[in-house]
Each structure stands twice: as structure tokens, then as C-alpha cells.
Amino acid sequence: MPSRHSDIEMSQLGRTRSAASAATFSRPASRAGRLSFKSHFANFIDSFRRDDGTSSTGTSAASPFLHVTPAADDDDFDTHWPHDHHHHHQNQSQNRSRRPSFAGSHRTERYYDLRSATSKTASTLLARELKGRHLQMIAISGSIGTGLFVASGRALSQGGPASLLVAYAIVGVMLWCTVQAMGEMAVMFPVAGSFSAYSTRFLDPSWGFSMGWNYAMQWIVVLPLEVIAGALTVAYWNPALDRSIFVTLFLLVIVAINLAGVKGYGEAEFIFAIIKVTAIVGFILLGIVINIGGTPTGGYIGGTYWRDPGPFNNGFKGLCTVFVTAAFAFAGTELVGLAAAETANPRKSLPTAIKQVFWRITLFYIVSLILVGLLVPYNEPRLLGATNMADATASPFVIAIESAGETVLPSVMNGVILISVISVGNSSVFGSSRTLAALAEQNQAPRIFAYVDKRGRPLVAILAVSSFGLLAYLASYESHASIFDWLLAISGLSTLFTWGSTCLAHIRLRKAWTRANRSPEDLPFRAQAGVAGSWVGLILNVVVLIAQIWVALDPLPSADGAPMSAVELAENFFLQCLALPVVVVMWLGHKLWYRTKVVRTKDMDIDTGRRDWGGRLSVIKEQEDEERKSWPKWKRLYRIIC
């Protein structure tokens, strides 16, 4: 039987057929028809059983040199630990005496086994069925939703068009640096859990625990919010319809997509992304036409609204307020790194997807928001009239299109918003279920969530996360907005912690890599921004976090200018920053319980789960370099940026 730690590049045919499935081929031909339904039903039921690790067939034939460096077993620690790999024949007691203590003493019951956690995330049983086109679309538009289409309207009214542009550009630079760092780690270590696993492995197990649960809670809360948003979006056409009907419909669609496996998720996001990309490109073209006066109902606009009412609103504090909205709008881009553990060939697919994040930031956010700032003044009353997170009437995109006159285009844009909220709801189940399963594998969550069936699905985690979608039925109650405001506050700053931790993990990994006398040339993929980019990303994450805390403590004045009471100020602070104490409490609680320590550079395991392509990485890279020399200049430039 192939080693469980070998690289598994799975396709739908790459998993061994179950006994029930195999039995259908041994039936006599005369009975095959009569037993067809029964055998297919048995095969369907069998697919939900736990994958015991025997269903993988080893390394894909397409990648004969690809394998994962095996993890250390309890009785063979020195065989695989990077600093002691020459001592293969030391006895068990000597091995144990030299094991670095990451999480307290072996003599205590409350001991966190970092080495075991690293091993389990490296040997994931998740199906590797995502292809390059899936990753590219997830990277380009996987999280484009209400954060861009609707929330940007409130940001425009609070900061003005110049603040909107500056804030989104700064957060875009921060995210690009973060995604580059994540890509380097994900190509080399395409392990389950990604962000939380890197924090656990390269920073501190307790911080990884906090980051994992923080990230999982973020998406768990987003699911019912997006389902409600989808139901409320339908009210744009017919307000009289019962919301519960559409809550049920959208929940069934989202759960069905995720139960179809990672390939089903990838195909759905591929389709959703095409619709969103087409809509944004169409809006950019239409926006240019409207701005130059190409519509029958309006004249030339140009930069009129940048002069009156002006480029900025509320000064520097208005700019800081927009930072938070920008971070929310970009949230979800990091999902491409989480998907690396389920990608057939991450070294080929992931770098291309990572590079395309630059174009997503530039084209779909910066260009479209420049047009929004040109077409909609920040004192437009409808921008602050949103009754929910998907209220199309408050979308600056819809408002800009309506300026072209009575057309069907506003309804089309509202339909795109509906597709977007379903897409983000779909991503929320994917992101939270994979993170929850990885936490369970690392003994940071109940073990039941680590259940992976024979189709490579974290079935229990998917069902557990999906059950939180039932909270969307609260949409029928008048007080649902207040309930979900507090739920969302739990993970309001989640992305900033996730991105900052990713940058710091990359910095420390590179330090450990250098300490082990290894060259950056040995990396299968190097971040284009390098370590300097990770420092930029980390610093910007901290700056945005500080700005959010300041704005929460001293918010913008209300529309009527009335000062906020002490109770209102306290409520506003926790609505904006509740994630901060939650993260600190979870980190501190885990640290006090397990008495974990920060992972020292000299003790970092930079081998377990690392893809080294059978020791032939240097040969493969030389072949690629030779091929690259034959390319024309335009293709070389294209491959650098794409």
C-alpha cells in the first residue's frame, strides 16, 4: 500500500472504488439491470464512509517526481527532523530526550504535540481536484460581493472619492504582499488549514489556535448573513414575497454545491466569477460612456464631483473609516491559499492565480471605484439609505447606472449582486469547513470535525457549518439586524489578523530557511515582493488595525451632529472591535492551558509536508529556464505579471 504521506494528486478516478461499487461489476449481465438502482444507492451511501487513507493510489502519473517529505513518527523522530536526520539508528529514549519542547513538558497532561499536528495537516485526505482555471477565478473574483457593490457606497459618503481611492489602493498593496507571501508557503507546504497551520507551525501553537477559530467563525457568521442578504435582494423586484422561501432556496443551493465536493465548489465559483467579471467590465465601459456624456439623459460629467462637493469628506478620520470597509471588501482573496491543499498541481496553478490578484485589485476595484467617485457625489442621500447589507438602492454602482435613465440595467446589476451574495455564501462554507477540519486534525477542535469521507469531503465540518445557515430564518423577525450586527462583530477584524499572521509566518519561515543554509533558489515559488513585501504587508495590517481602533473609540459625528453617549460609544467600540478581545482571550486561554512557547527559528520543522518533487526540483527548474529562454519578450513579460 502506498504511504499515506506521499503526495496525492487526486482526480475523480484517482480514488479506489468502494466494495459496493466493485460488486456491481461482478454481477451477471442478466441481473445487472435489476440491481442497478440498488448497487448505485449502495455506492452512494458508501461514499459517505470515512476515508481510511487506502483510497489514494500514490503519486499521479502526470507528476512522477512529485512527493511530500514524510512526517516524523513518534519512534523515528530523528529520521525526519531537519537537524538530526543523519542519526537513523538512535534508540527511542535518545530520540525523545532530544525532541524540542514546543508546548510544555511531556510530563504534564496538558501537552500540545506540535510535531503531530504538523504531520496530520501535511497528510490530509482531502481530494485534490481543483484545476488551474478554478484557482484563477477564485483569485480574480472569488470574494467580490457586497463589500464592493454595496458597502463602497457608505465608504464613499464617509470619506469622499479620494479617500475611497487611497484606502482601497493601500489595502490592495497590503493584500498583494500578503497573497504573495501566502503563495510561497502554500506552494511549498500545500497543507490543510493553510493560515492557521502556518501560524501554529512557524509562530506559536496558541496563536495558530486563535487564528484558526477566528477565521472559521468569520465565515460561519458570514453564511447566514449572505443568505439573508440574498433573500432581501429579491425584494428589489417584489417586496411582498416571503423571505423564508428564498432563505430555504439559497441554503439548499449552497449546501448542495459544497456536498458535491471540492470540484463542485470550483465549478460553481468558476461560473459565478465569470458573471461577476463580465458585470464589472460592463460597468466600467458603461461608466466611461456616462461620464463623457454619451447617454441621452445626461451631459459631460468629467471631474465635476471631485470639485463639488470635493474629493475628501471628514478629513483624515474619514480616510481611516474607509480602511475598514476596504479590508471587508477584499476579504476572501486568501481563500486561494486555503484551496492549495485540494489542488492537483499547486506549483503550476497557484503562482498563476496569485499573480492575477494584482489585476483583480487594479481592474476590478481601483478602476471601478474611480468611476464610482466620478459618477456619484459623496453627498448623495441614497448612499446612506441602505436598510441591509445587500440593499441595491444604496449601491453606488446601481445609482451610477440609474443616472443613465430608465433602463433594465439597474435590475441586471441587482441580479449580479444576488449572484455575488450566493457566491460569498458558498465560499463561506468552503472556508470555514476546511479550517474547522484542519483545526480538528491539529487537535485544536473536536476530532469529529476531521472526518473525511471517501470522496475527500470534510463531511461533518460541512454539515456543522451549514447548520449555522439556519440562523438566516431570523430574517423574518424585526430585530434580526441587531442580532447579526453582534454576530458579525465577533469576527469583524478577522481578515486583518489572518493577513498579518500570514506575513509574519512568511518572514519567520524565510529566516529558518536561511538558518538551515538553504538558498531562496531552492524554493519552488518565490514571492515577487520577497521578505520586504511581507514586512510591508505586516506593517500596513498593524496600521489599519490601529486606525480601526481609533475610529471605534472616536467615531465620526452622526448626521444630526448630536454627540454619542457613553453607552453608545461603548456599544460602537465593541461592534467595531469585538474580534480583538475574542482573539486575545482565545490565544491567552490556549497558552495558559497548554503552556505553549513561541516556536524558535532553530526548532522550526521546514521539511514535514514540504514538496520537493522527488529531489528533482532543481532539474525541473533548469528545464523551465531553458524553455523560458526560447520565449519572445512579450511572453516573458506576460508570464511575469500573469
- Shared-domain flag, residues 589 and 629: no
- Quote the CA–CA distance of 268 and 258 in Å, as a whole number: 9
Does the pLDDT of residue 21 top 80, yes or no?
A: no
User: Can you give the pLDDT at residue 387?
Assistant: 59
Does the pLDDT of residue 48 top 90, yes or no?
A: no
For residue 310, the 8-state DSSP code is -
Does the pLDDT of residue 538 top 90, yes or no?
A: yes
Residue 90 covered by a domain: no
Confidence of residue 29 (pLDDT cuts 50, 70, 90): very low
- Return mean pLDDT, the chain: 77
Question: What integer is the mean pLDDT of 260-274?
Answer: 88
- Shared-domain flag, residues 632 and 486: no
- Shared-domain flag, residues 546 and 632: no
Confidence of residue 624 (pLDDT cuts 50, 70, 90): low
- Shared-domain flag, residues 628 and 527: no
Question: What integer is the mean pLDDT of 181-208?
Answer: 88
Confidence of residue 91 (pLDDT cuts 50, 70, 90): very low
- Shared-domain flag, residues 358 and 411: yes
State yes or no: cis peptide before 309, omega within 30 of 0. yes
Does the pLDDT of residue 49 top 70, yes or no?
A: no
Considering Cα of 118, then 128, then 437, then 474, what sign does the dihedral take?
Answer: positive
Residue 513 vs residue 296, higher pLDDT: 513
User: Can you give the pLDDT at residue 631?
Assistant: 77
User: Can you give the pLDDT at residue 590?
Assistant: 92
- Shared-domain flag, residues 607 and 619: no
Residue 631 covered by a domain: yes
For residue 382, the 8-state DSSP code is G
Question: What integer is the mean pLDDT of 194-201?
Answer: 87
Residue 77 covered by a domain: no
Of 101-105, 241-245, 352-356, the poorest mean pLDDT is in: 101-105
CATH of the domain at 293: 1.20.1740.10
Residue 576 vs residue 3, higher pLDDT: 576
- Shared-domain flag, residues 480 and 492: yes
Of 15-29, 147-161, 248-262, the poorest mean pLDDT is in: 15-29
- Quote the CA–CA distance of 298 and 411 in Å, as a whole number: 20
Residue 1 vs residue 129, higher pLDDT: 129
How many alpha carbons lie under 13 Å from residue 117 in its C-beta half-sphere? 29
Cβ contacts of residue 424 below 8 Å, gap of 6+?
A: 143, 145, 146, 222, 226, 332
Q: Count the domains in the chain.
A: 2
Does the pLDDT of residue 60 top 90, yes or no?
A: no
Question: What integer is the mean pLDDT of 257-282?
Answer: 89
Confidence of residue 546 (pLDDT cuts 50, 70, 90): very high
Residue 57 covered by a domain: no
Residue 68 vs residue 134, higher pLDDT: 134
pLDDT digits (tens, 9 = 90+) for 379-401: 888 887 665 555 666 788 888 88
Residue 61 covered by a domain: no
Residue 27 covered by a domain: no
Residue 628 covered by a domain: yes
User: Can you give the pLDDT at residue 385?
Assistant: 64
- Shared-domain flag, residues 543 and 620: no
Backbone angles phi, psi at 24, to 5 degrees: -65, -25
Backbone angles phi, psi at 122, to 5 degrees: -75, -25
- Shared-domain flag, residues 620 and 512: no
- Shared-domain flag, residues 324 and 358: yes
Domain residues for 288?
128-552+578-611
Helix 409-441 with 114-122: angle, nearest 10 deg: 130
328 is written with which cell numbers? 471587508
Of 36-45, 204-213, 503-512, the poorest mean pLDDT is in: 36-45
User: Can you give the pLDDT at residue 143?
Assistant: 67
How many alpha carbons lie under 13 Å from residue 166 in its C-beta half-sphere? 16
User: Can you give the pLDDT at residue 413?
Assistant: 82
Strand-pairing partners, residue 611, are 68
Question: What integer is the mean pLDDT of 401-413?
Answer: 79
- Shared-domain flag, residues 589 and 640: no
Of 29-33, 225-229, 363-367, 504-508, the poorest mean pLDDT is in: 29-33
Confidence of residue 58 (pLDDT cuts 50, 70, 90): very low
User: Which residue type is seen at 309?
Assistant: P
Confidence of residue 456 (pLDDT cuts 50, 70, 90): confident
610 is written with which cell numbers? 514540504
Residue 270 covered by a domain: yes
Residue 403's closest CA among 299, 312, 307, 284? 299
- Shared-domain flag, residues 600 and 624: no
Does the pLDDT of residue 563 top 60, yes or no?
A: yes
Does the pLDDT of residue 215 top 70, yes or no?
A: yes
